[in-house]
Chain A
Amino acid sequence: MLDLLANGLVNIAQWKYLLPLFAGTFIGVIGGSLPGVTITMTVIVVLPFTYGLDPLAGLAAMTGVYVGGSTGGLITSCLLGIPGSPASIATTFDGFPMARNGEPGRAIWLGVWASVWGGLIGALFLVFLTGPLAAIALEFGPWEYFSLFVLAMAMVAGLTEASLLKGLISTAIGLLITVVGHDPIGSVPRFTFGSEFIGGGFPFLPVLIGIFAFAQIMTDLEKLNQPRGQAAEALVGVRLERFSHAKVNWEIFRQPFLLAWATIVGLIIGILPAIGGSASSVMAYDQAKKFSKTPERFGKGHPEGIIASEAANNANVSGSLMTIMAFGIPGDAVTAVMLGAMTIHGIQSGPLFISQNPDIAYGIYAAYILAHPCMLLICVVLMPLMLRVTSVRMAVLAPVVLVLCVVGAYALNNTMQSVYVLLLFGVVGYVLVKLGFPLAPLILGLILGDQIEINLVRAIMTDPSPWLFLTRPISGGLLAAAAASVALAIWQHVRHQNRVAEEAPDF
């Protein structure tokens, strides 16, 4: 295994891979640091560039975006008090107070170094645990896969802040989109209404780009002329104070348990399908506060808060990569785009991915590992530029991002149909957001829809008894966990409602 990893590292160190990796990491750091531009959006923007590249070069670029984006968000979190990307949300809690206390350099570099160490510890798990996880996945039959997908959807729907019901409806809409077109077994057209436009179904990536990018950009445009919440106190263009990198690293390694625990929390959240970086950052922050000897200092510029959040969100990337490589299911929207890019290049992800494509699998590991020193180098050299980049105007950014979305959709199969689908789902995504429907469950439904149907039908074709879904131990356990997840979400919702009712008595 170490030989393969060494080969992967040597392979990625070639210019044809190192350049896309470096460029991806750079774009990721910039995209992550721009408020309103998420890592998913950045990876969508990078997607069309990967069409013309060798598969590993494209995946290296996307891995770079993922790692860079997970770190870039902390710059805005510390200087503006607004997370540059959702993954750095908990960094804001202590990064911004520390920066306002006159230590923006310490805040930013604590975050950067914690990201590097969290990410590299995560890499150990990625390299050594993905294989065993894939071996477990090989034991899965269609029943287990079906139940795993149901669990993923139940968890995501249950995690939505707005309402469980809307989360579930959103999931169903995602599943419904995948049903349109020919059925996967007998190729019978479904819900096409005789139209050639939707005869082949909706292509996955244009739908994903449309829903995600348009909803995000349009929601940002609504607020274009509003003052930013804490802009009055923001520190745009600030010069960082003098500080020592050795001292910052000492602050991190003085508490190895904090670093290790935050990394493990981030990793586990990353492995769980479709939960994402923001949850790992917040959960690790919460854990750090619980275990801290000085919890009262959290929220006032405590280094532990920054370390926990940033180590966790980079470790989350390694967890997501483990899920996609071992099970073939995306850990979040970013890996969903990566999965789409793999499909375009004819690479089938799943439990056999590592054994069938060792060059690409170990290349991804190597790209993930090397993305961290790249990110560090970019931060060291380009920090003054990044301190200014947070003030790029939306009027400049939005048209460029939209052009790249259109190119990404068109270049998929060189037809305008994909662009029309992009626009159609752009409108659908925005309307759903305005109606309060969360998009994460919809995207997961969209990603998993085909696989759920195939595994369900395959299970029934093997044995028509529906009880097997419950009586096979792993499948039954996964379905029980899905039911528990929904029950927990309902319980939390009821508890929240009761609390609101107590706080606001009905006169």
Chain B
Amino acid sequence: MSIGRDGIAGLILLAVSLVLLVQSFQLPSLPIVPVGPGFYPSIVLSFMAAASALLVLQDLLKRRGLAAASASEAPRRNYRLVVITFGIVGAYVALLPLLGFRVATVLFVGALQTALGRPRKVRQWLALAAIALGTAAASYLIFERYLLVLLPRGAWTGF
């Protein structure tokens, strides 16, 4: 009997729900309302804790042989690209209030396109630059100028 992916997920969720459940019992009760602010969360968390515990149990009782066989047949996934993409999105979100929407978006679209499919010819680089500039310009013009929706300003750039 060994623990698998579901079991670990179940244990984490069980721990989270138990910690929050204890907190929900400590919430103050209100004088007029018959049930306090902790009433509903405690129902949700008890349900989540019970379901998570069952998930752990189900995982422990599962036959590993079948799972291992099917896992080996699964196609290879490009997780590196996912990590890089999250990194670039994270950098974009961090830079938005510093560089402003226009500059940060040009950099973001350019960087992510390069990460997802590095251009090889000059023409491809030009297309990449055009898409990056075009996305930033079009979204700025449509949102700020036409729809009057404000976009982030940059603390460093001033616009």
Spell out A's residues near B (CB within 8 Å).
Answer: 48-49, 51-53, 163, 165-166, 168-169, 172-173, 175-176, 179, 183, 185-186, 188, 190-191, 217-218, 221-226, 393-396, 398-400, 402-404, 406-407, 410-411, 414, 416, 419-420, 422-423, 426-427, 430, 435-437, 452-453, 456-457, 460-461, 464, 500, 504, 506
Contact = CB atoms under 8 A, between A and B. Distances in A.
A452 B39 CA distance: 12
A457 B97 contact: no
B146 interface: yes
Given A186-B33, A435-B5, A461-B34, A395 B113 contact: yes
A436 B149 contact: no
Chain B, interface residues (CB within 8 Å), range:
35 or more
Contacts of A166: 6, 55
Contacts of A48: 143, 149
Closest 8 CB pairs of A and B: A52-B147, A183-B37, A395-B116, A172-B48, A395-B117, A188-B37, A222-B77, A399-B112
B77 to A, nearest CB: 4
8 contacts: A169-B13, A183-B37, A191-B41, A396-B113, A399-B112, A410-B152, A420-B93, A460-B34
B113 A410 contact: no
B37 A190 contact: yes
A68 B45 CA distance: 40
A457 B48 contact: no
Contacts of B17: 172, 176
Contacts of B125: none
A163 B101 CA distance: 42
Interface of B: 5-6, 9, 13, 17, 20, 23-24, 27-28, 30, 33-41, 44-45, 47-48, 51-52, 54-55, 58, 63, 66, 75-79, 81-82, 85-86, 89-90, 92-93, 96-97, 101, 105, 108-109, 112-113, 116-117, 131-132, 135-136, 139, 142-143, 146-152
Contact of A168 (B35, B51, B92): B51
A202 to B, nearest CB: 14
B135 A400 contact: yes
A191 B9 CA distance: 21
Given A414-B150, A504-B66, A404 B51 contact: no
B25 to A, nearest CB: 12
Given A190-B24, A190-B27, A190-B41, A398 B78 contact: no
Contacts of B9: 435, 437
B55 A165 contact: yes
Contact of B109 (A403, A410, A427): A403
Contacts of A175: 44
Given A186-B30, A188-B37, A423 B63 contact: no
A108 B53 CA distance: 49
Contacts of B108: 399, 402-403
Could you say which of A166, A172, A416, A427 has the most chain B C-beta atoms within 10 Å of its C-beta? A172
A500 B65 CA distance: 13
B149 A169 contact: no
B139 to A, nearest CB: 6
A410 B116 contact: no
A464 to B, nearest CB: 6
